[in-house]
Amino acid sequence: MKLECYPEFMPTTAPPLSPDDFAQCSIAATLGLIGEKWTILILRDVFSGVRRFDDFLARLQCSPAVLSARLKTLTEAGLLRKVGYKEPGERERFAYHPTKSAVDLLPVIVGLMQWGDAHMKPCGQGPAEIRSRVNGLKVRAALIDDENQLVSPSDMQLISLLDPATSPR
């Protein structure tokens, strides 16, 4: 694989962001919630239709304590909704369903899959792909603007929304 260097993406015309500004970073906050391996894999499985604790456990092969903690975190954060169910003669259990907040993360999950297929698999293809039910075409994550036009990384810029007068310094 040929490694290439690219020019700086997302240059900014604003003054550089300080460490205090980066403490407010949305990426850091999101990673604080979902940036752990098991959490991302739970979301992957939820989007694949897995709903029950035992099914997650069988697919993920993690400890029940880890799974329980991650499901609790995702539920408390509003990414999953617990729905009770009861099999005849059994105690009540819960199924986990994605919320709109979780569905908003789907492009991130698809992007991770795309990147992994392209950069982590020798043949450039993973064990599965996502296709549209409407037309059968492969689905991919992309950078688009508010008018749904593709945007090249070199055409992006980072614009600070922090007011220098009120930004913590």
Closest CA to 45 of 34, 55, 33, 35: 55
Confidence of residue 1 (pLDDT cuts 50, 70, 90): very low
Residues 57, 63 contacting (CB under 8 angstroms):
no
CB-based burial of residue 39 (10 Å sphere; 0-12 exposed, 13-18 middle, 19+ buried)? Answer: buried
At residue 109, the pLDDT reads 96
pLDDT for the residue numbered 94 = 97
* Burial status of residue 132 (CB atoms within 10 A of its CB: 0-12, 13-18, 19 or more): exposed
Mean pLDDT of the chain: 89
**C-beta atoms surrounding 107 within 10 Å:** 14
pLDDT digits (tens, 9 = 90+) for 36-79: 999 999 999 999 999 999 999 999 999 999 999 999 999 999 99
pLDDT above 50: residue 169: no
Question: Which one is predicted more confidently, 158 or 134?
Answer: 134
Instruction: Please state the rounded mean pLDDT for residues 120-139.
Output: 94
The predicted model scores a pTM of: 0.83
Please choose, from the candidates 104, 106, 102, the residue with its C-alpha nearest in 3D space to the C-alpha of residue 140: 106
Indicate the domain borders of the chain: 33-155
What is the tens place of the pLDDT at every residue in 5-47?
A: 655 666 666 566 677 777 788 998 999 999 999 999 999 999 9
Is 1.10.10.10 the CATH number for 33-155?
Answer: yes
